[in-house]
Each structure stands twice: as structure tokens, then as C-alpha cells.
Amino acid sequence: MTFIDEMILAARGIFAITIGKRDSAKYFNLTNFGLSGAAIALVLSFAISIFVPEILGIRNNGLLPFQALIFIGVVSLFQVGAAAIILYQLNRFDGFVPYLVVDFWSTFFITILTLVPVILNLQSEFLMLVLAILVLVIKVNILRLIVKLPVLHIVMFFVAIIIVGFFGLITVSSILGVDMMELNKL
């Protein structure tokens, strides 16, 4: 299977997850091999979110592209680590690789989706709210349909990810010497 074939299947899978189809896992290769393709998609999403606006002359944050790449990469590593720890604590570490595969693919497609209004200069608070709700639905459904966590564990997972993500933001911004208040989005 080529990367393009995997991407097409993943797009179908993300759509299935978004609408809550219970069989959405069938669209993904939830093995370590599938994780490699999903990791490529994640790296592409980082590059797309950072360099496409720069190429188009849209400066969307207070960071240089290289700093933004480090920033996003390190914060993502913090969150992957938190996901590993919380899934281990919940005795669901078997869901770690499947979670990463689907989460990385969802990040890829959400990045592309959020870039469309930026390119078309259609940014509005309502549109950002709709995209935020879409992201939340996808993330919850990944945990519900792929990892098969109960509701309380999903809440615990989100709390851990948010806390660790915030800690990662503070840590990386202090290392890079960037004021977090200057960053309007990444």
C-alpha cells in the first residue's frame, strides 16, 4: 500500500470517526507499520501549518518557522508522553499505538482543513469555534471508538493532555525565549 492509498483510507476513517461509526478502525493500519505512515503525516502537518502561511506571506504567530517547528514538535512530544503514561495507568497501553495512528492522521486532516480559511482569508470567530468543536468530537471519538475508553477515562485523558500540553508550552516558550502572550496561534 502506498502512502497515498493509506492517506485516502485514513481520510475515510477520520470521516467515519467524526460521524461516530463504530467500525471506523477498519480504515487504519493500527500497527507499528501504520504508525510510521501516520508519523509521516504528522510531520507533513507540522510543515504545512508552518511553511504554507509563510510562503503565502501570512505571518500567523510571533515565531520564525524554525522556532515554530521546534515549538510544535516538543509540545507534541509532551502530549504523546502524557498519552503513554495515562493509557499505561488506565491499563490500556495496548491502545497507545492505535491512538497515535488515528490521532496523527486526524492532525494531518485538521491541519489541512484549518488552512483553507486562512488561505481564503475567511477567518472568523464562528468558523474557529466550529473547527474547535470538530476537533473535540474527533478526539473524543478516537478515545471512544479506537481506544475504547469509558467516559470517565476519556475525561481523565483530556485533563492530563491539557495539563501536560500547557506545561510543554511554558517549558518550550521559556527555552526559546518567546512570550506566550505574543503567540496568537500555532
Q: What is the mean pLDDT of residues 31-39?
A: 94
Model's pTM, two decimal places? 0.88
Q: What integer pLDDT is reported at residue 27 of this predicted model? A: 95
Least confident of 10-19, 48-57, 136-145, 156-165: 48-57
Q: What integer pLDDT is reported at residue 60 of this predicted model? A: 57
The yes-or-no verdict on residue 186 having pLDDT over 50 is: no
Q: What integer pLDDT is reported at residue 142 of this predicted model? A: 96
The yes-or-no verdict on residue 50 having pLDDT over 70 is: yes
Cell numbers standing for residue 136: 473535540
Predicted confidence band at 120 (pLDDT cuts at 50, 70, 90)?
A: confident
Instruction: Find how far residue 173's CA is from the centre of its chain.
Output: 19
- Quick one: which of 104, 101, 115 has its CA closest to 48? 115
Q: Apex CA 47: angle with CA 62 and CA 82, to 5°?
A: 80
Number of domains, the chain: 1
- Length of the chain measured in residues: 186
Domain extent at residue 100: 3-182
- Quick one: which of 116, 82, 114 has its CA closest to 99? 82
Cell numbers standing for residue 45: 502537518
pLDDT per residue over 73-117, tens digit each?
888 899 999 999 999 999 999 999 999 999 999 999 999 998 888
